[in-house]
Amino acid sequence: MVRIGTCGWSYLNAKEYFGDWKKLFRTKLQAYVKLFDLVEVNSTFYALPKLSTAEKWRKEADEIRPGFEFTVKVSQLITHKNPFGPQALQAFEKTKEIAKALKAKILLFQSPASFRPTRENLELAESFFEKIDRESFILVWEVRWQKEWTEKLVKKLFSKLRLNQCVDPFRQECFYAKDLLYFRLHGFGKPTMYNYTYSKKELKELAEKVKKFKKPVYVLFNNVDCYKNALEFEKLLS
C-alpha cells in the first residue's frame, strides 16, 4: 500500500484544480481531500489548534472522503525547545488529544539538524520514549540527514524504542521501519531546499523505489510544488 499526500493544505491553489471551488466545497481542506487521501498536519508543530478545530477538520474531511487519513507532526515543544526535556511529556499528551480528534494513527517527530546523537541527547530521547503512553499510535522520527546517525545506531535505537525512521528517500536510506515507511520529500532548491520541483525522472525513480517495499509506504511532499508533484506521482503508481 502506498499513500500519497503533502505536508499541509493551506497553500493549495484550489482554483487551479476546480475553478470556482467555493461552489463545490465549504473549505480549502475539502478541496484538498477531493484530490488526496492523506495529509500531514504540520501546523501542530508551531501551535496546537483548539480541540474543536481538529474536530471540525475531521468532519469536513469525512463529508468528502470518509477514509481520509491525517497524520500529525508533534509540537516543537517536544523536539526543538529543549528537546525531549521536562515540558515534552505534557506537550505529547496535548498533541495526542488533537490526533485523536482527527482519528490520526501516526505521530511524526522531527528533530533539528542540530540534534546530534550525543550521549546526553540519546539519553533524553530514550527517557522520553520510554515514559510516554503511546497507546495505539505509530511513532515516526525524522532525525534529519546527519552522518552521525549511522545505520547501526538507528537500527539499535529505533528497535529498542519501537519507532519508525522517517527519511527523505532522495537523501538517505531508511534504516529501520517497524510498521511502515514514512517519506518526506523536501527538495534540493536554493536558497531554501523547499523551492524545488521534482522532475518526471525523479518521480519515476521514486515510484520504482516504493514498489519494492512490502510494508505500507507513506509519501509526503514538502516542496514548493508539493501538490503538483504529489498528483504526478499518484498517476505514475495508478
3-29 residue pLDDT tens = 999 999 999 999 999 999 999 999 999
CB atoms within 10 A of CB 196: 20
How close are the terminal C-alpha atoms of the chain, in Å? 12
| Residue partners of 180: CB distance under 8 A and separation at least 6 | 106, 138, 140, 164, 215, 216, 217, 218
Q: What is the mean pLDDT of residues 192-214?
A: 93
CB 110 within 8 A of CB 82: no
Q: Is the pLDDT of residue 189 over 90?
A: no
Domain boundaries, the chain: 2-237
111-152 residue pLDDT tens = 999 999 999 999 999 999 999 999 999 999 999 878 899 999
Has domain 2-237 been given CATH number 3.20.20.410? yes
- Pairing between strand 181-185 and 164-167? parallel
pLDDT at 225: 95
Query: Could you tell me the pLDDT band of residue 60, with boundaries at 50, 70 and 90?
Result: very high
Could you give phi then psi for residue 219, rounded to 5 degrees?
-120, 110
27-54 residue pLDDT tens = 999 999 999 999 999 999 999 999 999 9
Query: What CA–CA distance (Å, rounded) separates 50 from 33?
Result: 21
Exposure class string for 51-78: b at 16+ Cβ within 10 A, else e: eeebeebbebbeebeeebbbbbbbbbbb
DSSP assignment letter at 23: G
